[in-house]
Structure 1
Amino acid sequence: MSVPRPRPRRGLAALTVAGVLLAGVACSSTAADSGTVRVGLLVSLSGTYAAVGEDMRRGVQLYLDTHDGKLGGREIDLVVGDEGDGPATAVPAAQKLLERDRVVALTGLVGGATVDKVQTLTTERKVPLLGSNARPAFAPVGGKARDLGYTWHTSYNSDEPGIAIAEYVKAQVGDGTVYAIGPDYQGGWDELRGFTDTFTRLGGRLANPDGKALFTPFPATENFLPYLNRAAESKPKAVYTFYAGAAAVAFVKQYAQSDLRDVPLYAAGFLTEGSVLAAQGPAATGIRNVLNYSPTLGNQANQEFVAAWSAAGHPGQPTTFAMASYDAAAVLDRALSAVDGQVTGEKLNAAIGQVGRVVSPRGDWQFEPTEHRPVQRWYLREVKPDGPVLSNVLLQDLTTLP
């Protein structure tokens, strides 16, 4: 088996934080002037989801490092901006990448609310947005479907994890009820709606007193115990949740201390993904969760990806955030190789639409033709010891969402 090894980073592929570009670079200059292709990466480098953003950055850089700093045979200038906690910081950073840095593609984006705002900017400028984390299930505008011509994702719609696990949870609880709880923002609404809508359609009942998921203030909530102990009063047979980043650490630790501690906890896999699992420690043991990736998948692409991740010296095991960002670079690699002459957003976008099947650490996938999201398999995982450390161990396949 050929394992890609990280190579020294080339200057043209080095990460340049968007807010601290060299002052001597004129706003009118472009990467094309030096024979390179300039790609923007917008991720959370600060705020609640900084750990997620860092993993996404590592995923893109790992692909570049194992491909000589090139995509499609072209030198890449990767310009990085800070998304922060959402649109308030993300939109100005995206405008800078598009207007001053004049990137030919934009990738990354941690939050669904960010995607909703930024995709308007990229569509106006005919620059492909290749998101690599959650995105909202775009609602129609004025009764018409949203134009997703320049918007692509290598990750998932935010409602898909809950849809994928709902049938399994229903089978586990039988006639019992499930209490649904999550953060009060776009990502939380989407993640919980996917589960609750599907679960109730299958005949399941929510334990929440009003029959609707409970949403905790975001990002202000640090003490979840009052919410959890109140939920215990409804005597649910299980709890379903979505949290990520620092909130996930607090939620899991406090769940283990709450009156719900003996009630099975099911979740979108971001609850225990990546560095948060190490911070949660034994409190996370036994949580069953759903995600489109597990580092324990046995396919060759994943074995090579995990080996490259380890060889690069990154902590822990690779995450879905890193994997989807690695895949975004792979998509750009194939698309750029199909572009003749000068690279423009329009040419690159057309090439992305012709990429076809992608061989990935998660298993092979391809873009759904109208929604531009992956058609992919979802997996049930459980937090348990894997050697000396806790890991999200693969239990079974769940479903492939069309």
Structure 2
Amino acid sequence: MRSSIRRRIRSTRTPVALATGLLLVLSACSGSAAGNDKGKTADEVAKIGLLTPATGPYAAVGEDTRAGLELYRDTHGGKLGGLKADIVVRDEGAGPPTAVPAATELVKQQNVLAITGIVSGGSVAGVLPIAAANNTALMGVAGRPEFPDPKLTAHVWSFNTQSYEAGAAAGPWVKEHVNGPVYAIGPDYQGGWDQLKGFTESFTKAGGTLANPDGKTTFTPFPGTQNFLPYLNKIAQSGAKAVYTFYAGTAAVDFVKQYRASEAAKLPLYGSGPLTEGRQLDAQSDAAAGITTFATYGADLDNPANRAFVAAWQQRHPDRSPTIYAVAAWDIARSLDSAIGAVRAQKKPLTPEAVNTALGNVGQIDSPRGAMQLNPATHSPVQQWYRFEVRNDGPKRANVAVEQLAVLGG
């Protein structure tokens, strides 16, 4: 173990006074162009599109995304860049069939300054050409595919990761700590392909072997798979010494509960952060005990920005811990705050294109996950990765950061 991250934030003990004081610090440090309020007309509004799942398997992820974006705005006077911020919400659903028409409406009818949210990798691939054609920034909260076309890359900004990175962080560690083959399994869509590709490539490059019969990842139909037991029984008979997976939302709950009830439960289970994050962990309860995940954020990370963020979050959402999706949305709002403020300070027309350009000059972000900055070439975060374990935290389970891994980014 390279380093221990044991100092913990226990959300149930966060005092209201701490939240209030730290929010004042956040407001003072905001990138808002407060000085630009002078002389502005009453109808000036920063209209931001939020495209995120309200239905389907990732609805809880969508709720956390909206909560993070609104929390930043509401704790900064309801403004972004010195202007009243209007968040226009549309349903991403389970992928492109819902996301693409919703994005088209946001860009062409609502005339938003940017599109935020986007959970599914397939949605990103479908929506990005629309955003790019209209010079509008697409600011995502989840992992995203790689885009070789520079026109597309110029308009996509990822505030979580590139989808392959969780697996890339996990592969070498798993090879070092598992004495034998590992079974790889995940959902059959863009996000699942990218996540598992990152793991299998880094794992086999480090000398690891897959236990899958054909030496390739097993993909389960998405979003229709609810019964994972046939897959888990095959895993138990495969000779695997461990399992690596990516699932999120309701699929993560179903997979973990059924894993614990299956013959595969004797095998260590590894995965990317969404497997046991937020309300998924609450629903999984004891079934998640001991699972190891690889991620960039956990609510227990001990830094000033995270203490402030968690305190603010717990005032509004005392029933649940924040997730990386909420953090990514918070960081998106912070970046928009700075970018819109910069455009106004330069007395330029406030257009989607101007905001997209200004995002390239935001620089380092003091994020709840720790300091991070978007790679200027890929627009993906350069950030620290951690290994987490599901352990007891009082009466509940929690993802506890136990080890720093690599710094990855774009």
Instruction: Indicate whether 1:396 and 2:400 are aligned.
Output: no
Question: Given the alignment, which residue of 254, 263, 270 partners 2:267?
Answer: 263
Shift of 1:166: 0.9
Instruction: Indicate whether 1:4 and 2:23 are aligned.
Output: yes
Taking the aligned partners of 1:137 and 1:236, their CA distance within structure 2 comes to 30
Aligned residue in 2 for 1:22: none
Q: Is the 8 A contact 2:184 2:200 kept in 1?
A: yes
Taking the aligned partners of 1:127 and 1:33, their CA distance within structure 2 comes to 24
Shift of 1:336: 1.0
Question: Given the alignment, which residue of 348, 372, 384 partners 2:379?
Answer: 372
Taking the aligned partners of 1:145 and 1:367, their CA distance within structure 2 comes to 16
Secondary structure at the aligned position of 1:34 is classed as coil
Taking the aligned partners of 2:403 and 2:81, their CA distance within structure 1 comes to 36
Instruction: Indicate whether 1:165 and 2:163 are aligned.
Output: no
Amino acid at match of 2:206: L
Q: Is the 8 A contact 2:128 2:152 kept in 1?
A: no
Taking the aligned partners of 2:169 and 2:372, their CA distance within structure 1 comes to 16
Amino acid at match of 1:366: Q
Taking the aligned partners of 1:146 and 1:33, their CA distance within structure 2 comes to 35
Question: Given the alignment, which residue of 110, 120, 139 partners 2:129?
Answer: 120
Aligned residue in 2 for 1:135: 144
Taking the aligned partners of 1:260 and 1:137, their CA distance within structure 2 comes to 33
Shift of 1:315: 2.3
Q: What root-mean-square deviation, in Å, do the aligned CA atoms of Structure 1 and Structure 2 show?
A: 1.5
Shift of 1:313: 3.0
Shift of 1:314: 4.4
Instruction: Indicate whether 1:284 and 2:288 are aligned.
Output: yes
Q: Is the 8 A contact 2:159 2:332 kept in 1?
A: yes
Q: Is the 8 A contact 2:386 2:402 kept in 1?
A: yes
How is 1:171-190 mapped onto 2 (pairs within 5 angstroms)?
Answer: 171-174=176-179, 176-190=180-194
Instruction: Could you tell me which runs of 5 or more consecutive residues in structure 1 were left unpaired when the two chains were aligned.
Output: 6-31
| Stretch deviating more after TM superposition (305-314 or 354-363) | 305-314
Q: Is the 8 A contact 2:171 2:202 kept in 1?
A: yes
Aligned residue in 1 for 2:28: none
Shift of 1:73: 1.0
How is 1:330-349 mapped onto 2 (pairs within 5 angstroms)?
Answer: 330-340=334-344, 341=347, 342-349=349-356
Taking the aligned partners of 1:200 and 1:332, their CA distance within structure 2 comes to 40
Q: 1:325 to 1:275 in 2, by over 3 A?
A: same
Question: Given the alignment, which residue of 109, 114, 119 partners 1:110?
Answer: 119
Secondary structure at the aligned position of 2:399 is classed as strand
Superimposed CA distance per residue, residues 103-144 of structure 1 (whole angstroms, 9 cap, x where no aligned partner): 011110011110111110010001111112121122x3xxx6
Q: 1:335 to 1:145 in 2, by over 3 A?
A: closer
Q: Is the 8 A contact 2:132 2:151 kept in 1?
A: no
Shift of 1:145: 5.3
Taking the aligned partners of 1:234 and 1:369, their CA distance within structure 2 comes to 43
Q: Is the 8 A contact 2:129 2:152 kept in 1?
A: no
Shift of 1:37: 1.3
Secondary structure at the aligned position of 2:153 is classed as coil
Q: 1:104 to 1:33 in 2, by over 3 A?
A: farther
Overall identity of the aligned pairs, in %: 50
Amino acid at match of 1:48: P
Instruction: Indicate whether 1:384 and 2:391 are aligned.
Output: yes
Taking the aligned partners of 2:52 and 2:184, their CA distance within structure 1 comes to 28
TM-score of the pair, normalised by structure 2: 0.88
Aligned residue in 1 for 2:96: 87
Secondary structure at the aligned position of 2:265 is classed as coil
Taking the aligned partners of 1:59 and 1:280, their CA distance within structure 2 comes to 23
Instruction: Could you tell me which runs of 5 or more consecutive residues in structure 2 were left unpaired when the two chains were aligned.
Output: 1-17, 25-40
Amino acid at match of 1:251: F
Amino acid at match of 1:133: A
Secondary structure at the aligned position of 1:234 is classed as coil
Taking the aligned partners of 1:315 and 1:63, their CA distance within structure 2 comes to 19
Aligned residue in 1 for 2:207: 203
Instruction: Give 1 or 2: higher helix fraction.
Output: 2
Superimposed CA distance per residue, residues 51-73 of structure 1 (whole angstroms, 9 cap, x where no aligned partner): 00000000001001100110111
Taking the aligned partners of 1:3 and 1:233, their CA distance within structure 2 comes to 53
Taking the aligned partners of 2:272 and 2:57, their CA distance within structure 1 comes to 17
Aligned residue in 1 for 2:71: 62
TM-score of the pair, normalised by structure 1: 0.90
Taking the aligned partners of 2:209 and 2:46, their CA distance within structure 1 comes to 52
Q: Is the 8 A contact 2:166 2:295 kept in 1?
A: yes
Taking the aligned partners of 1:360 and 1:58, their CA distance within structure 2 comes to 16
Question: Given the alignment, which residue of 213, 217, 222 partners 2:217?
Answer: 213
Taking the aligned partners of 2:292 and 2:141, their CA distance within structure 1 comes to 24
Shift of 1:146: 5.9
Question: Given the alignment, which residue of 324, 347, 362 partners 1:355?
Answer: 362
Aligned residue in 2 for 1:298: 302
Superimposed CA distance per residue, residues 205-230 of structure 1 (whole angstroms, 9 cap, x where no aligned partner): 00001000000111111110111111
Question: Given the alignment, which residue of 214, 235, 239 partners 1:235?
Answer: 239
